[in-house]
Amino acid sequence: MSAKSPAPIIYPLTEPRQRWQLEVGAGHVLQIYEYGRADAPPVVVLHGGPGGGANAVQAAMFDPRAWRIICFDQRGCGQSTATDTLAENNTHTLVADIEAIREQLGIEQWHVSGGSWGSTLALVYAITHPQRVLGMILRGVFLARQHDSDWLYGNAGVARLFPEFYREFTASLGVDASHRSSKEVIASAWQALQQPTSPQGLKAAAAWALWEARISTLTAKSGLLDHVQRDPNGMNAARIGTHFFHHGFFLPEGFILEHLNAISHIPAIIVHGRYDVVCSLNNAYDLATRWPCAQLKIVQDAGHSTTESGIARGLVAAGHVFQQHR
């Protein structure tokens, strides 16, 4: 008698139940995907980056029998257009886009979920429109402070854990690895990507993507360089990512923590890997200690990526909690 197969960590990957587009101005048209039941309580899932894209894995963290799951490609990302311009692509327009989707769907209130940059966007959206948010599920919290950028791209944060990768990354950008601040590194990548099809631009995009890929999981995956070079969205993700980092995410310094009182009443579950070096655990800890209705779930054997089993299990469990208490 064969052993019973273990239960899957996430729900089965499926094609969207519905796809549609929404024009939001300045030539931008959002691609929106709906999964699950049309008559179920809604959750909007915000992808990371900045510059990433929506995918079925993000939707599969939620039970399709119990949720109406709404994902979308943010401005210039994935299947959204226009990918050739960064005009009107900033945190405030993305928050307005989320609200435009809600209004288009006729949804009064919904749950909001997001990971990494998606957690930043989720928090800014909730602070701006707290009356629309029933609950939040966040993963790998990024608070968009100068400190967070320095941790990721300066020489005194993640670089201390991956010195050989950091030296290769900065060399590809023509930057001295001794810079403590992230500003020189980000400015160099941003400048190169102003001409994305140039040899310098292509090199910068590959370096930007490879650095993040190398540090995103607890155990490094093989074939990352080949994956990065084959990724058709890599250039776009790098252009949009450097655009947001270079402009300080279009937010005042410390905006999220300073405005946390606006959402102090909203229940939240924060899932964060103990060994997440892309977004330091201190981010989630600082957030949770100041948020009375937030629960921090630390995954002991995980880094940053949703693809790690502990992170995926934590997100699925968070969805179950909100199913039981709504």
- The catalytic residue positions are 116, 276, 304
Calpha distance 79→233 (Å, rounded)? 10
Can you tell me whether residue 76 is helix, strand or coil?
coil
8-state DSSP, 81: B
Nearest to 140 by CA among 262, 314, 290, 256: 314
Other CB atoms closer than 10 Å to residue 213's CB: what's the count?
19
- Quick check: 119 and 245 in contact, CB under 8 A? no
β-bridge mates for residue 115, sequence order: 139
Q: Which two tokens stand for residue 109?
A: 């209130």
Calpha distance 287→232 (Å, rounded)? 35
Position 70, amino acid = I
Position 268, amino acid = A
- Quick check: 124 and 136 in contact, CB under 8 A? no
DSSP string for 230-255: H-TTHHHHHHHHHHHHHTGGGS-TTH
Nearest to 105 by CA among 26, 32, 154: 32
Calpha distance 212→92 (Å, rounded)? 25
Helix (H) or strand (E) holding 19, with range, is strand 18-25
